[in-house]
Amino acid sequence: MQTSTGHKPIRTAVFPVAGLGTRFLPATKAIPKEMLPIVDRPLIQYAVDEAREAGIEQMIFVTGRGKSAIEDHFDIAFELEKTMSERGKSLAVLEPTRLGPGNCAYVRQQEPLGLGHAIWCARSIVGDEPFAIFLPDEFMHAHPGGDGCMKQMVEAYNEVGGNLLSVLEVPREQVSSYGVIDPGAEVSGGQGTLTEVRGLVEKPRVDQAPSNKIISGRYILQPEVMRVLERQEKGAGGEIQLTDAMAQMIGTQPFHAVTFNGRRFDCGSKLGFVEATLALALEREDMGADVRAMAQRLLQ
Ligand code: G1P
């Protein structure tokens, strides 16, 4: 099957969720950090919602020990649902957790050898199709009425094909925490302009970074990346880096960067997590006004 422009559709998403979440200890001692809630939804749910909005149906979670709460979250909770039904309560609130039989797969990354290694662990399930990657720590939140980040990327992909990365600009002194692109020409595509990616470097020194445009946790990649990852080459921090594998594909494969028209919260950090919680609570119809009044009281 192909899209009207001849590119294979994006049907599969990979969610690397094996990380230990040490920055959120002790909260993450017994529960995965991806299960920490922003208001009343766990962080992983927002990423899955974004994938579904983009038309993606097959979800692959790269998990590790102690992450089984994620599997339970996307499963049927028989006792809960039976009890709620008997009490006449609506089950609509659980709808986002229903991925459907056969639509999710879990594969374990046995050792923390890096993001590239985590993605490579999903190779047999991904097969020979282009696929999307979501790093759930990067919470990409659409403007009210706007499209999610992956939906914007899929739209661009349907036009230009190849490989796509979401990027955003950060203050120059922060680039060494991220993958950074070497930006080329701008071309029109999707909902705005796309930037050609001429090179990529993972966690460069500030004075050596090719730009301040960082990879912000969303990717559409061709399956060839798995063959590069197969070599298991180590990069920054002694880890097998996805950025390095992609860098090796530039020249043989088209790579474009999409700047998300929406908001990004860095939920890998405590400050970003609190910011996301406040922003979403303020937006909610059922509590926004109360949260605003509460914040004003607290700030007095
Ligand atoms: C990973 C990627 C990096 C990307 C970042 C986004 O880094 O390796 O290229 O910019 O996620 O958050 P990590 O945060 O795992 O160190």
For ligand 1, atom 13, name the residue with the nearest CA. Answer: 178
CA angle 168, 174, 180 (to 5 degrees): 50
Ligand 1 centroid vs 95 CA: distance in angstroms? 30
pTM here is: 0.95
> How does residue 21 score in pLDDT terms, banded at 50, 70 and 90?
confident
The answer on pLDDT for 67 being more than 90 is yes
Which tokens hold the place of 213? Answer: 């445009």
Mean of pLDDT values over 96-115 = 94
Residues near ligand 1 with C-beta < 6 Å?
Answer: 115, 135, 138, 178-179, 202, 214-217, 241-243, 268
Domain spanning 12-268 has what CATH number?
Answer: 3.90.550.10
Which tokens hold the place of 77? Answer: 């909770």
pLDDT at 191: 78
Ligand 1 centroid vs 179 CA: distance in angstroms? 6
Number of CB atoms found within 10 A of residue 27's CB: 14
Write out the H or E segment, with its range, that includes residue 70: helix 68-73
Which tokens hold the place of 223? Answer: 């399956």
Ligand 1 centroid vs 180 CA: distance in angstroms? 10
Write out the H or E segment, with its range, that includes residue 192: strand 192-202
> How does residue 2 score in pLDDT terms, banded at 50, 70 and 90?
low
Q: Where are the domains of the chain?
A: 12-268
Write out the H or E segment, with its range, that includes residue 219: strand 213-221
Asked if residue 254 has a cis previous peptide bond (ω within 30° of 0), the answer is: no
- Rounded to the nearest 5°, which phi and psi values hold at 61? -105, 125
**Residues 202 and 179 sit within 8 Å (Cβ to Cβ):** yes
Mean of pLDDT values over 220-236 = 94
Q: What is the pLDDT of residues 253-295, one digit of tens each?
A: 999 999 999 999 999 999 999 999 999 999 999 999 999 999 9
Q: How far apart are CA 281 and CA 170, in angstroms?
A: 25
Ligand 1 centroid vs 267 CA: distance in angstroms? 12
E strands, 21-174, are 37-38, 41-42, 58-63, 104-108, 131-134, 138-142, 163-169
Instruction: Choose the residue to mutate in 43, 135, 138 for probing ligand 1, maximizing ligand atoms within 8 Å of C-beta.
Output: 135
Q: What is the mean pLDDT of the chain?
A: 95
β-bridge partners, 83: none
Which atom of ligand 1 is nearest to 138's Cα? 12
Q: How far apart are CA 265 and CA 273, in angstroms?
A: 7
CA angle 216, 278, 298 (to 5 degrees): 145
